[in-house]
Amino acid sequence: MKVYANRKIAVAGIRAKPGERAQGYAQVGELQDHQPARIPIAIVNGARPGPTLYLQAASDGDELNGVAVIHRVLRMLRPETLRGAVIAVPLVNVHAFHAHRSHSPADGKKMNRCFPGNRHGSTSDRVAFFLFHNAVLQADLCIDLHQGGVNPMIDECRVRVNMKDRAGPASFELGRVFGIGYIFHQRGPDGQLARAAPAAGIPTIDPELGGTRGWDAVSIRKGVRGVMNVLQHYGFIAGKPKIPRRQVVVRRFKTVYATRGGFLALHARLYSVVRRGDLLAEIHDPFGAVVERVCAPADGVVWTYPPYPMLASGQTVATIGTPIRYV
């Protein structure tokens, strides 16, 4: 059992002693009008010693559910009753956020391919470098809140390192404790925070809180529950986590494409467990006649659907998470 000491936490110029809360903006560069580009950062430093959790949202600038999760978590946390500390960055990708886009318009990059960052790189690399070296490396646990962009997706949690990787088993355990019920366990691409932080020994998860434009109340509630589960399980706050007895784990996705074009009538809902050959959807012509029956290519869970009920040939009808294992 690791022994922690009470310590002052500082990120750039934002400082909180044990028992204090601090928030402010850290400058990460300049905008094109020469004004500072700033990222909001909050620190809740508990009166009692304990581990440090790093929490971030909106690494993809249009993924807003995590922002609302951080708002609620910050309202609930009290330095007097907290063990350890929480460093929260509610809006990572400010450039993309202002543009209502996932990728930064400044360099066209996806922030979650830029970690651990590069101080001499392009705009997103520099922001990633700043956060990784000033905040993430102070943490014992890391949660990077995402969602499936603006397309419908189940609420799930991704573990992006394998069991053999550094912090692999601890990252998977963090995902189990988050307790959202569905885990996608597959090593992710280079540059993900959920790869870079475990490589530095920090267990990390990438919860995917549904997919919507703006805010989705159900996904936000599940995200808050997940963060509270982590805070309770690892001893930051009192209370018993609500972790499901059985959670689905899948290791890959099968993409199901339409052969014909037309309108999509769904037969299996998101979260449905389907068997290979089960009917997923029908495609209708503009007169309403069935022109194709689309079936599940494997046993699995219906993970995503497209945002609109119409498709061209070769567009994605659904994604199936497979094979199903339980933990």
Q: Is 146 in the site for Zn ion (CB under 5 A)?
A: yes
60 interacts with Zn ion by CB under 5 A: yes
Rounded to whole angstroms, the Cα distance separating 200 from 166 reads 8
Give residues 239-278 in contact with Zn ion (rule: CB under 5 A). none
Closer residue to Zn ion, CB minimum distance, 39 or 266: 39
Contact of 155 with 219, CB cutoff 8 Å: yes
**Nearest distance, CB of residue 14 and Zn ion, angstroms:** 25
- By CB atoms closer than 10 A (0-12, 13-18, 19+), residue 217 is exposed
Q: Which is nearer to Zn ion, 46 or 188 (CB)?
A: 188
Is the CB of residue 300 less than 8 Å from the CB of residue 281?
Answer: no
d(CA 121, CA 125): 5
Question: Which stretch, 61-69, 177-185, 278-286, 317-325, contacts Zn ion (CB under 5 A)?
Answer: 61-69
Q: Which is nearer to Zn ion, 101 or 260 (CB)?
A: 101
Please state the φ and ψ torsions of residue 324, each to the nearest 5 degrees. Answer: -80, 130
Report in angstroms how near the CB of residue 65 gets to Zn ion at its nearest.
10
Does the footprint of Zn ion cover residue 158 (CB under 5 A)?
A: no
Place of tokens 């799930």: 156
Nearer to Zn ion, 123 or 147 (CB): 147
Phi, psi of 193 (to 5 degrees): -60, -35
User: Smallest distance, Å, CB 216 to Zn ion?
Assistant: 14
CB of 118 to Zn ion, least distance (A): 20
Given the rule CB under 5 A, which of 57-65, 69-77, 188-196, 272-280 is the region that contacts Zn ion? 57-65
CB of 38 to Zn ion, least distance (A): 22
Give SS3 for 132.
helix
Q: Which is nearer to Zn ion, 60 or 156 (CB)?
A: 60
- Pick the piece of the chain touching Zn ion (CB under 5 A) from 36-44, 60-68, 117-125, 246-254: 60-68
Cβ closest to Zn ion, residue 92 vs residue 264: 92
**In the complex, minimum distance from the CB of residue 188 to Zn ion, in angstroms, rounded to a whole number:** 11
With respect to Zn ion, which residue has the nearer C-beta, 111 or 237?
111
Give the binding range for Zn ion (CB under 5 A) out of 16-24, 138-146, 240-248, 301-309. Answer: 138-146
Nearest to 182 by CA among 76, 327, 284: 327
CB of 206 to Zn ion, least distance (A): 8
CB of 146 to Zn ion, least distance (A): 3
By C-beta, is 179 or 211 nearer to Zn ion?
211
Q: Give the separation between CA 224 and CA 180, rounded to whole angstroms.
A: 10
Binding segment (CB under 5 A) for Zn ion, from list 55-63, 216-224, 225-233, 269-277: 55-63
Question: Is position 206 an interface residue for Zn ion (rule: CB under 5 A)?
Answer: no
The Cα-based distances of 274 to 62, 303, 306 in angstroms read 31, 11, 18
By rule CB under 5 A, what count of residues binds Zn ion? 3
- The encoded tokens of residue 1 equal 């059992």
Nearer to Zn ion, 46 or 175 (CB): 175
Give CA–CA dist 92/95, Å, rounded.
9
Q: Enter the tokens of residue 31.
A: 């905008």
Looking at residue 216, the DSSP 8-state letter turns out to be -
Would you say the C-alpha torsion 105, 107, 110, 112 has a positive or negative sign? negative
What CA–CA distance (Å, rounded) separates 147 from 67?
11
Pair 247, 325: CB distance under 8 Å: no
Cα distance between the two ends of the chain: 25
Smallest distance from Zn ion to CB 60, Å: 4
Point out which residues bind Zn ion (CB under 5 A).
60, 63, 146
